[in-house]
Structures are given as structure tokens and as C-alpha cells.
A and B are shown apart, each in its own frame.
Chain A
């Protein structure tokens, strides 16, 4: 699978070489790390790739690294990392695009490129509080509209903030 994704990355390096910070492989497959501002350009280039057009955005997710230092001693690049899970239906190739951002920083929305990014970005906004600039309708999708927290941030208590929910504590 990764053999198939390699040519697309080579073509991407030829056209947008300066914007690619790193290409690495882990358990998920090939990951392309780019700067936050160049995410739309990279996604557009991958979507219109010659032999394996990544025409499906399966998911967008994020990771909160704020406890990473105290758990491992290593220093993360920033507070959050965003992952765009791309798939090429015709070539059956999967590829990840990674980008890091700090708390309060706005990510550029991928909704103009992929319609499926609409809800995926709303989920990331709902769970992590990451805002996407240019999103047509950025509001909560899972949680009630009056919910005030971002529950997948590490500082949020698992059982919530309602004191009635933990009678023993």
C-alpha cells in the first residue's frame, strides 16, 4: 500500500516541495507533515494527483499533546496535531496529512475542497475547541449547544464538571 503512495508523494515534492516538512511512516501508513497554512494547497494537490487522486477525505482528527512532556519527557512540536485521513478510491491508497497548531490558533478549513470535511471539522471543534477559519457552519455537532467545554482536551475531567456526577468525591 505504501509503495503505491510513494509516487504521489514524489509528485507532491516536485510541485510543493518547500511546504513539506517531513514524510515518515508509522503503523498507520505514510504521513506527510506540513505547515498549517499550506494544508489547503497540499490537500488540493493530492486531490488532483495524476495517478492516485486522493478524492476521499475519510476523517479529520486531532491529538492533544499537553500531557506529553510530563508523561514521556519529550517535547511536542505544539499543543495539538491535526490529521487528515485521505484515501484514493481509484488507486486504493491511503495517506495521512499532519499539521501542528497551538491553542487558540485557527486551522484553515478543508470544506471548500472536501464536502466531508464539514462535519469532521465540526467534530474536532466540538471535542478539542480547535476553530477552522472559512468553515461555513462551525458549531457543535455531538454535544448540546450550551456545553461549555472541550471534553477531549486533557485537562477536562473524564466524569464531567457536574458535582452531582461524583457523589463520593
Chain B
């Protein structure tokens, strides 16, 4: 970079100015101070939205309650409006009739957004291996972390949030929405061993 402040004395924008601006943009895109600052502020201000449809939501209430107190880790405000949230916690059984609602609420959330699937029902359908229950919410939305248990201990969900914070802190650059979705889909699919979706996402061949 040049030592003197940018700008031609005559007031015209020069090629050097444009080059410098482009270099600054490139710097911001690199895993540098700006990205670290953004990651740091994101990971300590997660605003969860509980998609609570069953008993896991009660454990979630225990987690945000005063004795366990999720706000110690910077996930303070539980919001019930998807526009104000960036972390969806799917807590409970998702029936096929509820699935479009879940999908709509997920899509209403602003980027960047993450999803924690809490409990056996949200992860795999759980014991409800029947015609009416969605066999895992990762069939319709990308899931970042799966928490096993029926219902999981609040500490387990906290651990997932801490893991998520660690991953947000180590993110390099800013993934686009499409990239993030693809990454989360593939991560979920690998964990579940669901080959048809995997092939679909990777373009067939593998």
C-alpha cells in the first residue's frame, strides 16, 4: 500500500486508486483481522429460535433457565421471530404435516444461519418410525450439529452450541448461503449414510 493518503491532487480517480481499493477488498476477503472480528462477534451473539414441538423443548427451557443459563455462552436472546434469529434449534418430533412449516421458518431466517437438531426425533424420527413422521429434519433443512438423546441433557445441547461457536470462530472468509447449505447437507448426509441424497448433491457419479 502507498504511504500517502489516496486520491489524486487534481481530484480525479486514478488507476492506482482503483488498484488499491481492489487490494483492500481482497484483504478483507482473506482470513484476516476483519473476518476474525466478524466471526468473534457472530459466535458470541447467537440468537436461537426454538422450533419446539415436543418434550425436547422442555429440556430447552431448562437450558435457557436460570440454573443452567445458556446466556453465559453468548446465546442470550431466545427469539420467536425467525427474522431476528441465526440459530435454529429443532427440538421435537417433526410430522410430515409440520415439515413445510419448519422449512418456511428456516427460510425466513436471515443469513448467516445455523441449525442444531436436538434429540432423536429431530435427528432421525426417533422411535416414531411411522408413516406420519419426518425421518429426520435433515431431509428438508441443512443441519450443522446433531444432539443424540431422548431427550438430551441440556448440557449436551450446550456442548453442541459450544462446538458450533468454535466452528464459527474458525470460519475462513464468509461462505455464501449456497456454499453453507451444500456444506451442511453433505456433512449431514455423510453422518447419516444416506446415499441417494449424497449422490444427488455431489452430482450423481460417486
Contacts and interface: CB of A to CB of B under 8 A. Distances in A.
A113 B139 CA distance: 45
A165 B96 contact: no
Contact of B129 (A143, A156, A165): A165
B129 A159 contact: yes
Contact of B132 (A157, A160, A167): A160
A167 B196 CA distance: 10
B97 A143 contact: yes
Interface string A155-168: 01111111011010
B37 interface: no
Interface string A130-154: 0000000000001110010101000
Contact of A164 (B131, B132, B135): B135
A159 B131 contact: yes
User: Per DSSP, are chain A's interface residues mostly helix, strand or loop, or mixed?
Assistant: loop
Contacts of B194: 167
Interface string B116-142: 000000000000011110010001000
A158 to B, nearest CB: 6
A160 B130 CA distance: 6
Interface in B128-168: 129-132, 135, 139
Interface size, A (range): 10 to 19
Nearest to B98: A144
Interface string B178-206: 00000000000000001010000000000
B96 to A, nearest CB: 6
B135 A144 contact: no
A156 B96 contact: no
B130 A159 contact: yes
B131 A156 contact: yes
Contact of A144 (B97, B130, B139): B97
Contacts of B130: 158-160
Given A143-B97, A144-B97, A160 B196 contact: no
A158 B131 contact: yes
B71 to A, nearest CB: 38
Contact of B196 (A149, A157, A159, A164): A164
A49 to B, nearest CB: 39
A161 B196 contact: no
Contacts of A143: 96-97, 132
A34 B153 CA distance: 54
A147 B133 CA distance: 13
Contacts of A165: 129, 131, 135
Interface string B64-77: 00000000000000
Nearest to A145: B97
A160 B97 CA distance: 14
Given A142-B97, A165-B135, 17 more contacts: A142-B132, A143-B97, A144-B97, A147-B96, A151-B131, A156-B131, A157-B131, A158-B130, A158-B131, A159-B129, A159-B131, A160-B130, A160-B131, A161-B131, A164-B135, A165-B131, A167-B194
Q: Which 7 A-B pairs have the closest CB atoms?
A: A160-B131, A144-B97, A165-B135, A151-B131, A159-B129, A144-B96, A158-B130
6 contacts: A142-B97, A143-B96, A159-B129, A160-B132, A165-B131, A167-B194
